[in-house]
Chains A and B, each alone.
Chain A
Amino acid sequence: MKTRVLKAFYALLGAFFLLASAALIIKSLIYNGGPSLLEYWELFTVDHAFFGYFWNSVFYSAAITAVSIAISLPLGFAFAKIRFKGSKALFYAYLLAALLPFQATLLPNYICLKSLNMLNTPLALTLPMMFSPLAVFLDRQFALSVPDELIDSARLETSSALRILRHAVWPHIKPGAAALAALIFCESWNTVEQALIFAMDNPGIYPLSVRLSDLPENVSGAGGATYMFPIFALFLILRKPLESPESGEIWGTK
């Protein structure tokens, strides 16, 4: 009984959060008072410039997610399972960096990008977000859940830390990495301020999150629904690892 009530509660909570998205999708399917796909037709043909910014966003978010995961996984594993001098101090420095709001690092990032002549380029919109301390922290937590005995037995086969990570640790932390990838993608997909500040003289490289508000009202529903689409597609891709049996071990529900 208690489980059923809990399940119903979670389902209602999920539905509540989806309400705004559902309303947007329904609005996009109504044109001149009746059901129609004309709004999407208008957006995809007349307002075709929309796609330039859409693919900008896809490229930036995919690049940021891929590089973040590729960098944070070995780092997190190193902090969790490898003893080296200064690891604790370095990890606390990462924690401190993770706690800083992005507004605090905006100006230093701007100065750094300007001195490297990277302002108003796609690198300015991707590089600062690729090195996420939060990703390293979370990957460390995921790696801590892997039993030490597994690492020790893998060490009997190979001394390469990367091979141990690839063959022994990765199958266990895949659900965590999938969740982290989803979080990083969503965060980078919705970025606005960094694009406005780091690329203010080159509006052609703006992500869609910046230009979405400039869409004409007659296609705003379709624009919003198309903007949400990659998030749904990402969940579709990551659903299997997120729902795998190992995910219970990561989240502590087993």
Chain B
Amino acid sequence: MRKAAKAAIIIFGAAVIFFSLFGDMIYSAVTPDVSAYTVSAAVMTDGGLKLVLPKECVRDGRVMIIESYPAFERTVYTARSVEVLLREGDSESGKYLIESGLKQGDRVVLTSEKELREGDRVETDGHG
């Protein structure tokens, strides 16, 4: 019992030292970088939304947006999938016209290092 407690304390201590040195680096390494566009007032019209996005951003009528929530002394970003209304007939140009589903301030993922799923953590440069 004593040996087990001693081993547990030594292992935990090693983990504390390891993560205090490399924890931030590990988080950056496992969290994909994304670039995002922030839906601005300029694309909001009386009739709704007038936003053009590259085809790659839209999958099965859904786009990924970035949500943020506060963690301990940092902001954590996660990806969330939202359904959008596309205008028909524009798929040949390589872009879609988004008519609704997004609101001003939403940050739409344009590119990502890897394929994102609902709830995935992401890192963004903060520009939109």
Q: Does A49 have its Cβ within 8 Å of any Cβ on chain B?
A: yes
Rounded to whole angstroms, the CA-CA distance of A194 and B111 in the bound complex is: 49
From known contacts A51-B23, A229-B9, infer whether A44 and B15 are also in contact, taking CB-CB under 8 Å.
Answer: yes
Q: Is the CB of B9 within 8 A of A236?
A: yes
Q: Is the CB of B71 within 8 A of A55?
A: no
- Which of these binds chain B: A131-139, A157-165, A213-221? A213-221
Note all chain A residues with C-beta closer than 8 A to B71: 46-47, 216
Rounded to whole angstroms, the CA-CA distance of A226 and B9 in the bound complex is: 11
Q: Is the CB of B72 within 8 A of A45?
A: no
Q: Is the CB of A226 within 8 A of B27?
A: no
Which residue of the partner chain B has the closest CB to A219?
Answer: B72
A21 to chain B, nearest CB (A): 13
Which residue of the partner chain B has the closest CB to A215?
Answer: B72
Note all chain B residues with C-beta closer than 8 A to A226: 16
Q: Does A18 have its Cβ within 8 Å of any Cβ on chain B?
A: no
A239 to chain B, nearest CB (A): 9
Q: Is the CB of A50 within 8 A of B72?
A: yes
Rounded to whole angstroms, the CA-CA distance of A46 and B19 in the bound complex is: 11
From known contacts A229-B12, A232-B9, A236-B9, infer whether A51 and B19 are also in contact, taking CB-CB under 8 Å.
Answer: yes
Number of residues of chain A lying within 8 A (CB) of chain B: 20
Rounded to whole angstroms, the CA-CA distance of A47 and B15 in the bound complex is: 15
Which A residues from 190 to 216 make CB contacts under 8 A with B?
214-216
Q: Does A48 have its Cβ within 8 Å of any Cβ on chain B?
A: yes
**Count of A-B contacts judged by CB separation below 8 Å:** 57
Q: Does A1 have its Cβ within 8 Å of any Cβ on chain B?
A: no
Which B residues from 1 to 40 make CB contacts under 8 A with A?
5-6, 9, 12-13, 15-16, 19-20, 23-24, 26-27, 30
Interface of A is mostly: helix
Interface of B is mostly: helix
Q: Does B73 have its Cβ within 8 Å of any Cβ on chain A?
A: yes
Q: Does B127 have its Cβ within 8 Å of any Cβ on chain A?
A: no
Number of residues of chain B lying within 8 A (CB) of chain A: 21
Rounded to whole angstroms, the CA-CA distance of A215 and B73 in the bound complex is: 9
Note all chain B residues with C-beta closer than 8 A to A46: 27, 71-72, 74, 76, 121
Interface string of A44-65 (1 = CB under 8 A from B): 1111111100110000000000
From known contacts A45-B26, A48-B27, A51-B20, infer whether A233 and B74 are also in contact, taking CB-CB under 8 Å.
Answer: no
Note all chain B residues with C-beta closer than 8 A to A229: 9, 12-13, 16
A130 to chain B, nearest CB (A): 25
Note all chain A residues with C-beta closer than 8 A to B27: 45-46, 48
A-B contact pairs, 23 of them (CB 8 A): A44-B16, A45-B24, A45-B26, A46-B74, A46-B76, A48-B19, A48-B20, A48-B24, A48-B74, A49-B73, A51-B16, A51-B19, A54-B16, A214-B72, A215-B72, A216-B71, A216-B72, A229-B9, A229-B12, A229-B16, A232-B5, A236-B5, A236-B9
Q: Which residues of A contact B (CB under 8 A)?
A: 40, 44-51, 54-55, 214-216, 219, 226, 229, 232-233, 236
Q: Which residues of B contact A (CB under 8 A)?
A: 5-6, 9, 12-13, 15-16, 19-20, 23-24, 26-27, 30, 70-74, 76, 121
